[in-house]
Amino acid sequence: MAADRLTGKPFATRSEVIAKTGMAATSHPLATQVAVQTLQKGGSAVDAAIAANAVLCLVEPTGCGVGGDLFAIVWNQAEKKLHGLNASGRSPQHLTLQMLQDKGLTKIPAYGPLPVSVPGCVDGWCELHGKFGKLPLEQVLAPAIEYAMAGAPITEVIAYYWSGGVKTFKDYPGFSDVFMPNGRAPVKGELFRNPMLAKTLSRIAASGRNGFYTGHVADTVGKFIAEQGGYLSAKDFSDHRSEWVDPVSLDYRGYKVWELPPNGQGIAALQILGIMENFDVAGMGFGSTEHVHAFIEAKKLAFEDRAHFYADMKFANVPVDKLVSSNYAKKRFAQIDMSRAAKSYDAGTELIESGDTIYLTVADKDRNMVSFIQSNFRGFGSGMCPPGLGFCLQDRGELFSLDPNHANKFEPGKRPFHTIIPAFITKDGKPFMSFGVMGGAMQPQGHAQIVMNVVDFGMNLQEAGDAPRIRHTRSSQPTGESMTDGGSVHLESEFPAVTVRELLKRGHKIEPSVGGYGGYQAIRYDAELDVYFGASESRKDGMASGY
């Protein structure tokens, strides 16, 4: 058990990694090594993050790829300022809500050509690199290209998800050509090569965004999707651009927690924390009935607002300032009955439950830090693999609502509601912590729990991630479904039996769950010691490393 370690910490599976000059934490050891090597060659935190992400596109295609989207929060030490990047893609310009309704659909399907939106990942790389990069893009992408040609061994957790993905996607166009060498999923330890991806990455290395959004790649995707009955076109590719945005913050007991504004769900984490600040969380004690009950109810309240309000802010009026305000949090807090679980809540005026993602964070010698998240959604995404390119296209369009009165309704050229969210914490105007918890609707729940573990329960960076997590499912959804029965509560096994028993007495529905609790990486900067602390949890195959 973790408590048997020398430190006596009840949850930490290992010590934090501590380094002076630079730090990286990713969900795959090879990606972490590439990030650190990039830093050692003079690269910035952003260079190293892009290099690591490119490697993960090869070795963890169950969670990410150049056919997906990304979001990032960057601390720039020279400006002493945070920058946010929304690199999520938009819906096809020539597809309308009426066309989808005319097909007899009540929701957009999870797989196939209809949920495909423009991949924003590569444009995100190029925007980040153009603003914060130091090394040439060819040098940044070189390790991923080399691994794609020579092959890299597949790790245990990724092999598990890959085998499940094959069962779902094996008959989708082009999938087996890329992801089923020898007619099956790679097994643990087996080398996986993807020379088609190497060619795509080489085009990006040579020509930047134009190597992906114009010419061969864009034309191939447009032709392929049209042949499959979809609507995403080469022009949708060439018209796409990422957007720099201002992160949104909430003060939680003297720590400023930062998230990106919608179309993502990051402010749900801030809403949960705003409600929880009205409780004496530290006094409750970690894992107590009061701690877990209060958190579940705060999550339900935040997710009702998520379902009602969150959408592309170019198309919908999202009252962000109100939703994250302390006055609003107090009003929502007052709705919680500590003796009974609520069956439903109103919005204040999980289809989404699944989703495989990668999260990574990097910090460099100049004290720049990046919180970086990238995903296909639903593992491999849509299952649609354009010929000769070596990747799957994402299926984020599934998350649009087909209700014409919903803020997140489908519209041409619109970004869908998005689940992937990076996070950052500052204290006294200085960088404190870059972190994320990947995994669909678990992400804002995970972010809030990490913050409480550090701030309220005094856990170190590693322990905060390894501590058992709470996951509530079946809240109301941004696609239109409503919670009417209180949803379901999933608790990792380390929670006390007495807590489970008392939660049942309060009306919570407790369901067993293997997995689904997310994957955490984090870096903390200690300004007094001038060193970095890194952590990577045991639920994934990754690691933190520094130099």
Distance CA 131, CA 373 (A): 18
Distance CA 463, CA 257 (A): 19
Distance CA 511, CA 508 (A): 10
The continuous run of DSSP H or E covering 24 comes out as strand 23-26
Residues 82-106, mean pLDDT to the nearest whole number: 96
Burial of 207 (0-12, 13-18, 19+ CB in 10 A): middle
Tell me the per-residue pLDDT of 341-364, one tens digit each, with 9 for 90 and over: 998 887 765 334 445 689 999 999
Residues 473-491, mean pLDDT to the nearest whole number: 81
Burial of 106 (0-12, 13-18, 19+ CB in 10 A): exposed
In a shared domain, residues 193 and 220: yes
- pLDDT > 90? residue 326: yes
The pLDDT of residue 480 is: 67
In a shared domain, residues 311 and 162: no
Residue 362 maps to a domain: yes
In a shared domain, residues 131 and 158: yes
In a shared domain, residues 329 and 235: no
- Computed over every residue of the chain, the mean pLDDT equals 94
Residue 278 maps to a domain: yes
Residue 277 maps to a domain: yes
2: confidence class by pLDDT, cuts 50, 70, 90: low
Q: What are phi and psi for residue 257, nearest 5 degrees?
A: -100, 130
In a shared domain, residues 71 and 191: yes
In a shared domain, residues 193 and 266: no
Distance CA 363, CA 48 (A): 9
In a shared domain, residues 336 and 381: no
The pLDDT of residue 352 is: 41
In a shared domain, residues 368 and 237: yes
Residue 546 maps to a domain: no
- pLDDT > 80? residue 151: yes
CA 246 to the chain's CA centroid: 18
Q: How many domains does the chain have?
A: 2
Which positions are catalytic? 357
Q: Assign residue 267 the CATH number of its domain.
A: 1.10.246.130
Residues 293-311, mean pLDDT to the nearest whole number: 93
The pLDDT of residue 486 is: 85
In a shared domain, residues 159 and 83: yes
Q: What are phi and psi for residue 216, nearest 5 degrees?
A: -60, -50
The beta strand positions in 113-268, using DSSP E, are 152-153, 191-192, 243-245, 248-252, 255-259
Tell me the per-residue pLDDT of 236-284, one tens digit each, with 9 for 90 and over: 999 999 999 999 999 999 999 999 999 999 999 999 999 999 999 999 9
Residue 409 maps to a domain: no
Location of structure tokens 């409480």: 452
In a shared domain, residues 172 and 31: yes
Residue 13 maps to a domain: no
In a shared domain, residues 345 and 376: no
The continuous run of DSSP H or E covering 175 comes out as helix 175-179
Alpha helices in 81-155 (DSSP H): 97-102, 121-132, 137-150
Residue 540 maps to a domain: no
Look up the domain containing 463 and give its range.
Answer: 247-354+438-523
Residue 529 maps to a domain: no
Q: Taking the chain, what is the end-to-end CA distance rounded to the nearest angstrom?
A: 29
In a shared domain, residues 79 and 182: yes
Tell me the per-residue pLDDT of 388-444, one tens digit each, with 9 for 90 and over: 999 999 999 999 999 999 999 999 999 999 999 999 999 999 999 999 998 888 999
Location of structure tokens 């919608």: 262
Tell me the per-residue pLDDT of 215-238, one tens digit each, with 9 for 90 and over: 999 999 999 999 999 999 999 999
* Adjacent-strand bridge partners of 251: 256
